[in-house]
Chain A
Amino acid sequence: MDFEQRNGDTISSLPEDILCHIISFLPFKSAVQTSFLSTRWKDLWKKNFLVLKGTMDDAFIAISSFLNEFSDQSHQPTSNWGFQFNLGRGSSLSVTVEPDKALHLDFSNVKHEFPWRFDCWLEINGSSYNDWFDFWWLHYRNCQIHTPQPSPFTFKVKSLHLISVSYLSSRAISSMISNFKLLESLTIKKCNGLRSLHIKAGDSGLKKLTILDCQQLESLHFKGYNLQSLRYRGRLVCFQCGDGDSSFFWFWPWFNSFWLDDAMLDFRQGPAYNSIFSCGFKSILHRIKGVKSLTLCKWVFEALICPILPSPPFCWERGFHQLTELWWIDYSKERYNSNALISFLKLCSRLRRLYITIDPKSYRRTNKNNNSVKVITRLQSLEDLKVVKLEGFPNEKVEIMLAKRLKQEFNVEPVIVAKSNYLNCVRLLVKSPDDLLKEGKDPYKFIETRVEHLYDLCPQHVHMGF
């Protein structure tokens, strides 16, 4: 009996229950990370989950009691981070909880016969101010904003993730969400059938709202004062922010509103409506003026922003003067045209990092109104621009042309990095010394280099992880 075990063999012969047992001792994030190790480890961290059975209503009762267990400090189950609820006939719902932090509800496996359209109302501990007097009175009494007193029914969940909610679960979620008084981040993903979404956050601590890939969404209504980050990917829908119908407050736009730090407006799927000008984009534009990270589609800039810019109050403003990183999603044409990009860059004096992606699938307007913006700005130099990252360009010539135009318009020579076909590599633009110029050769060319060398200089745009 030869007992020299090879290195690899030793651990692969560890039975699954030992691996699950080891995982149960890990902190939550490390446990989730084990799913990246190899295909065998993909769902091991979920093996510890309870499997329960019942109806949708039972499921929500189970969720509430599960959260209550976590809220009760004395009794912290360490290894059981969630459960799977079988609703019968192959449907199941998956609930994962990171203690005191996040709740993840995944309804993707809930089968329903007809994808009925539905509307969803979510109200999170809002006190909305009905009128001016209300507002003053509350502040006069020094009402504490952001720190509501936890009641016995408050779940200490700071971030809530809802995947594939349907008409079957929407009402239960709406009633449950009023218990999430400490909620700071809400993510809604892949909800087919969701037609309109109304979120009333009032003065609750909700800071971050992420809505991704809800294909049938037509309108989004949001009322909340503390929102800092809005991340949206999908079709351009009708936005209504704040109290649109309250004309009394037009001279106090500041208090019935929120200002975004971070906005991802990935509308490359195009508009949900034919007439895009009624979609309320103005209110969004108003709120992204002070944004630091932005994702913007070229077609939106051309069709929606350019026409509004020359008129007040936008024409009085200094542009996007806090913007430090921009992800510009371009559409592709036979001949790449960087006019719109350059026009927009003239509004971003403090830009540090620029990411340009040409997506051939991005929507573009067919009427050729080449709105090159007459922007009222002085000749800018983008002094802070250090890095430009390119993706999806048709060939190197176009990339080099863009580099030259940036130098010409803004007198800036940032590090230019482009996607490479080789694994773990990127292409870096370098300029040959001047003596080559005499030979009539283009001094610019790209060289391959390993991506680790540039990671510090050129990190991912914060919206690119989605």
Chain B
Amino acid sequence: MSMAAVETKKITLRTADNHEFEVEEAIAMEFSTIKTFFDENPDASEDTIPLPNVTSKCLSAIIEYCKSHLAFRARETSSSIDEQVRTYDEEFVKARDNESLKELILAANYLNIKALLDMLNQAVADRIKNKSVEYVRRFFGLENDYTPEEEAAIRAENEWAFEGVDPDDD
């Protein structure tokens, strides 16, 4: 499908590993951090924006996401579109391992892309919900720094929330 070449403005972004990405203005405006920057400095649109906290892997994934969601939004809203959006989001998250999910979250937070951040946080929550404490610790790479007494105290304090629940096993 050939499109009439509309002169869309392109913004250049440079990632932490020194890759440069050219993106359409519409997509760059999805990144609230960048949008704010341009609102305050309208003349800076020709310059390359450095993104020291984002790797090229993350940025390309994020650009893909924003492109697809922009396309979805351009079409008429209907339940089938919603369905497609949901499927797209699921696929986007499914293949990624925990490490890359976390990297994406950091990047989405830095670039301030609310919709993506919400979706990613929900995905992480889905991965850890109803799992054991040990599993969640491994997921986040956490060390248990409670002393046995502190742990017993927390357990006693929060015992009421687990009334009637069997100890989970994972």
Contacts and interface: CB of A to CB of B under 8 A. Distances in A.
B150 A27 contact: no
Contacts of B85: none
A7 B146 contact: no
Across the A-B interface, the 9 shortest Cβ-Cβ residue pairs: A25-B125, A32-B161, A8-B141, A11-B140, A30-B129, A161-B160, A22-B121, A3-B16, A38-B142
B145 A10 contact: no
Given A11-B102, A32-B162, A36-B146, 10 more contacts: A3-B55, A13-B106, A18-B105, A22-B125, A23-B125, A33-B133, A38-B144, A102-B161, A104-B160, A465-B155
B99 interface: yes
14 contacts: A3-B16, A3-B17, A3-B55, A21-B117, A29-B162, A32-B162, A36-B154, A36-B158, A37-B137, A37-B144, A38-B142, A102-B160, A102-B161, A159-B163
A41 B142 CA distance: 10
Contacts of B162: 29, 32
A100 to B, nearest CB: 14
Interface in B97-154: 99, 102-103, 105-106, 109, 117-118, 121-122, 124-126, 128-131, 133, 136-137, 140-146, 150-151, 154
B101 to A, nearest CB: 10
Interface of A: 1, 3, 5, 7-8, 10-15, 18, 21-30, 32-39, 41-42, 96, 98, 102, 104, 159, 161, 185, 187, 465-466
Nearest to B52: A1
Contacts of B145: 38-39
Interface of B is mostly: helix
Contacts of A22: 121, 124-125, 128
A466 B159 contact: yes
A7 B155 CA distance: 28
B160 A34 contact: no
Interface of B: 16-17, 52, 55, 99, 102-103, 105-106, 109, 117-118, 121-122, 124-126, 128-131, 133, 136-137, 140-146, 150-151, 154-156, 158-163, 165
A42 B142 CA distance: 13
B102 A98 contact: no
Given A11-B141, A27-B129, A27-B130, A465 B159 contact: yes
Nearest to A212: B156
Contacts of B158: 32, 35-36
Contact of A35 (B17, B140, B154): B154
A142 to B, nearest CB: 30
Contacts of B129: 25-27, 30
Contacts of A12: 141
A389 to B, nearest CB: 17
Nearest to A159: B163
